[in-house]
Amino acid sequence: MKKTVLALALAYLSAFSFAVLAQQRADDGPQLTGNMLMRPANYREWVFLSSGIGMTYAPGGTPANAPQLFDNVYVNPSAYRAFLDSGRWPDRTIFILEQRASATEGSIVTGGRFQTKLAGMEAHVKDARLPGGWAFYAFGGGAQMRDAAAPLSGNAVAGCVECHAKNTAVEETFVQFYPTLLDVARAKGTLKPGF
Alpha-carbon distances of 156 from 6, 42, 151, 161, rounded to whole Å: 64, 27, 10, 10
Residues 48 and 70 sit within 8 Å (Cβ to Cβ): no
Alpha-carbon distances of 6 from 13, 30, 37, 88, rounded to whole Å: 10, 44, 50, 45
Cβ partners under 8 Å of residue 185, min gap 6: 87, 169, 170, 175, 191
Containing domain of residue 79, as a range? Answer: 28-188
| Residue 154 located in a structural domain | yes
For residue 115, what is the domain's CATH number? 3.50.70.20
Overall number of domains in the chain: 1
User: pTM of the entire structure?
Assistant: 0.82
pLDDT digits (tens, 9 = 90+) for 128-167: 988 889 999 999 998 889 999 999 999 889 988 888 989 9
| Residue 4 located in a structural domain | no
